[in-house]
A and B are shown apart, each in its own frame.
Chain A
């Protein structure tokens, strides 16, 4: 062909294209400011001395030659390992009961196990103090061992991590090809062999993923170790002590990076596992219908009642204790522990600050996350910008809250940063929470958007309707259930989080979850339990409101979903 090849000419940009590009740029800028730059500041801080001079690996060398810090590292490791070994099999059996048996009231049992998600992590630690602590009614069960230390941390972590492991394992166990089981049965394979050759290999990625997620949660959680750890030091409490106690920011940055290591490994492995897990199930797989088996069904009902009941009971003890006059000697009910003014200079202030912050994070966060996911997923043009935004959106999953919080402290307090005016404000706390929980919300939004016909944008372009109009009129209404999910997720997590915000709150707007830590530190355990109870009730109320709203959205407002 002698045809002269025209060089690819860029398309002329319309006003609509400019709107799209500006929006993508704004998204990238937000993600850079809220996620990438704080982490970069933390990284550079760990290579500097107190005066900001570059000192290479000197801080790291000092870290690994300080015996107390290395002991914490080792403590964190073995406590996390043991907690994982306990919680994963427990959660596996529970998930098995929910997915592979004819257990009745599965929804109820799932809800029961999810309860810890609505509480700050340290609530289970407070409960364990009431049960096994110095005044605990079951103290004798520990045979003289103290609950303040590794035992308490591990017990509390089991409750806190249980729902996280359960969610992963339920997903893994629900993805089963019924035909594999039929084939195995047709060949006369004994049940135990089917379990070893079909069931376990089918969920191995889920199991590995659960192991890493739990391990990371334990290593990076701050609240539990703070409340029940006693003199037992772990990485998370070290970071707090270095930064808040000793104002040793450089060493805090080093600890932050050490914390980042297991989280990043867990993140990378989890991504790979997910890819393979999906590949395991061919498109023609037939869902597995568990068959009735009276003995098995009853055994699992008993097990789930036991474990689920224990979870509810442990959380219940803290709630109960918050209404008790003087644990455990005077069990008459009272509301005096809710009179926060006696324990906390701001009274109910922290609770309202938390409500305000969580609402802001839910509203602004949902808007940013969903619009951002739309731009990344359905946007036109600017492929590098969108790919970069996607990368930044996935980053927070690999960053523990404590590390992100440290990054924020260094970033916002840097002398060159004009955003320093935000320090200690509700806005900064909300931005931090949005960043902290960005990835899960983003993935939810992307999943919903992927289910929408890809040609909507093309159709609206052919009809000369700008993309933002179709976004508002079609995309958002269709995705309303996912949007509500994201909003509630943001609200509940912003309400219950401790680890990221502990470095960031200002005197005027201490959050409820931090107030729990402080009241507990000051010995006002009952008031701490009361504040934590208030958080749980608010989070549960948000969830119930969500369920009601969902019904309304699916019912009246979205008649178009019904045939």
Chain B
């Protein structure tokens, strides 16, 4: 299921699904949502497998939160269909869909204690007081927040509030957990710790989870599958390693991880020209000569050791600037033959020490032909899928 699901459903909406899709917990089909002239979601289709954690990743305004809210029923889609656990919920209000949700702001009720917040939805289900109390204790232990029952939200730290919100969302044992930027209000250290905890909890409970984030690191670390979104459309769906190693478009390449991007023209089979530089490139596929493309190269893939002058794609550069980032250095390199090009490259602390790299120095670096990614330059609206 690495491909974006965009198929036409000949049977029409509402038809019974074949048994093969039993492992799909959330199905989104052709969902469109407009706010005035702005299309927040433009014919989005995707599937979330049961028990998996899926991240919607994209820049602000890409439609990821809107999609989450449409799945929850908090926004009504203009067109399209939502299915949760094999049930068509497209026209049901949130209270008739089966999910728990954690918002960026947590939305804890400030005038209720931790116990009252967590038990808020349980009280309504006519459970006995002892049953509720037992369930709340169990949930607080589950999220790692014991013995805070009597406190009010304002007396808790951000991380603790987040856990309470999580416990409240899980209280009624929903089959689907929705997380809307749950970590972005926390400081960096707490964020990393909670990220791991949420992931572990999700694994343990085996609850299907959809999380919205704009933080690619968070998505890469947590998700079983990432849905990269841009301008209301799905750009790519896949496991984190795939998204990083084989971005399907220039947008994904640029948004997930860092990427050098160059305008290039194909000059022959396996050959491209970037400005005055002639380069070998393995990924051109069947593209004809003279076509304009974009070349991408991750900073960590710029080779620095064992590059002989005259080897394929070896280019002499000047080290213009070095930014020390702890474990590695990000170098700004300028090819001597092309003064208007800039190449960013990551050098390990080891390499820095061994080679004694300094600002102003000249070097020969290699751009491995197999590491150069090729994207079709946008000709009309929107880039097509890459090679």
Instruction: Please report A residues at the B interface, Cβ cutoff 8 Å.
Output: 1-12, 14, 16-17, 453, 455-456, 458-466, 469-470, 473-474, 477-478, 558-563
What are the residues of chain B within 8 A of A469 when measuring CB–CB?
124
Q: How far is the CB of A7 from chain B (nearest CB, A)?
A: 7
Bound: A560/B95 CA distance, A: 28
17 contacts between A and B (CB under 8 A): A11-B93, A16-B93, A455-B103, A458-B72, A458-B74, A461-B74, A461-B95, A463-B124, A463-B172, A464-B121, A465-B124, A473-B112, A474-B109, A474-B112, A477-B111, A560-B153, A562-B154
Further pairs besides A458-B72, A459-B103: 9, Cβ < 8 Å: A3-B8, A4-B9, A14-B93, A14-B96, A453-B105, A458-B107, A473-B112, A558-B111, A563-B154
Contacts A1-B43, A3-B8, A16-B95 hold; do A456 and B109 have CB atoms under 8 A apart? yes
Give the residue among A6, A12, A465 with the most B Cβ atoms within 10 A: A6
Name B97's closest neighbour in chain A (CB-CB).
Answer: A462
Bound: A7/B32 CA distance, A: 11
Name A480's closest neighbour in chain B (CB-CB).
Answer: B111
What are the residues of chain A within 8 A of B100 when measuring CB–CB?
462-463
Contact B92 A12 (CB under 8 A): yes
For residue B120, CB closer than 8 A to chain A, the reply is yes
Q: Tally of A-B residue pairs with Cβ under 8 A? A: 115
Q: How far is the CB of B27 from chain A (nearest CB, A)?
A: 14
What are the residues of chain B within 8 A of A456 when measuring CB–CB?
107, 109
Chain A binder among B75-83, B211-219, B291-299, B307-315: B75-83
Give the residue among A7, A17, A460, A478 with the most B Cβ atoms within 10 A: A460
Q: How far is the CB of B369 from chain A (nearest CB, A)?
A: 36
What are the residues of chain B within 8 A of A458 when measuring CB–CB?
72, 74, 94, 101, 103, 107
Q: Indicate the size class of the contact surface on chain B.
A: 35 or more
Give the residue among A3, A466, A562 with the most B Cβ atoms within 10 A: A3
Contact B72 A463 (CB under 8 A): no
For residue B209, CB closer than 8 A to chain A, the reply is no
For residue B30, CB closer than 8 A to chain A, the reply is yes
Identify which of A3, A8, A463, A561 contacts B121 (C-beta below 8 A).
A463
Contact B105 A9 (CB under 8 A): no
What are the residues of chain A within 8 A of B154 when measuring CB–CB?
560-563
Q: Which 10 A-B residue pairings sit nearest by Cβ, starting from the closest?
A: A463-B121, A455-B107, A461-B94, A560-B152, A3-B30, A455-B103, A474-B109, A462-B101, A477-B111, A464-B95
Contact B95 A14 (CB under 8 A): yes
Q: Identify whether the interface residues of A are mostly helix, strand, loop, or mixed.
A: loop
Report B95-120 residues with CB < 8 Å from chain A CB: 95-96, 99-101, 103, 105, 107, 109-112, 120
Q: How far is the CB of A473 from chain B (nearest CB, A)?
A: 8
For residue B241, CB closer than 8 A to chain A, the reply is no
Bound: A461/B124 CA distance, A: 12
Contacts A6-B13, A463-B171, A463-B172 hold; do A478 and B8 have CB atoms under 8 A apart? no
What are the residues of chain A within 8 A of B9 when measuring CB–CB?
4
Give the residue among A2, A17, A461, A478 with the most B Cβ atoms within 10 A: A461
Q: How far is the CB of A339 from chain B (nearest CB, A)?
A: 50
What are the residues of chain B within 8 A of A10 when measuring CB–CB?
91
Contact A455 B105 (CB under 8 A): yes
Bound: A453/B108 CA distance, A: 9
Bitwise interface map of B from 30 to 62 toward A, beta carbon under 8 Å scored 1, else 0: 101000000000010100000000000000000
Q: How far is the CB of B152 from chain A (nearest CB, A)?
A: 4
What are the residues of chain B within 8 A of A11 when measuring CB–CB?
73, 76, 91-93
Contact B43 A3 (CB under 8 A): yes
Q: How far is the CB of B346 from chain A (nearest CB, A)?
A: 35
Q: How far is the CB of A380 from chain B (nearest CB, A)?
A: 9
For residue B168, CB closer than 8 A to chain A, the reply is yes
For residue B336, CB closer than 8 A to chain A, the reply is no
What are the residues of chain A within 8 A of B110 when measuring CB–CB?
478, 560-561
Q: How far is the CB of A383 from chain B (nearest CB, A)?
A: 12
Bitwise interface map of B from 1 to 28 toward A, beta carbon under 8 Å scored 1, else 0: 0000010110011000000000000000
Name A12's closest neighbour in chain B (CB-CB).
Answer: B91
What are the residues of chain B within 8 A of A559 when measuring CB–CB?
152
For residue B90, CB closer than 8 A to chain A, the reply is yes
What are the residues of chain B within 8 A of A466 when measuring CB–CB?
95, 124
Contact B107 A8 (CB under 8 A): no
For residue B184, CB closer than 8 A to chain A, the reply is no
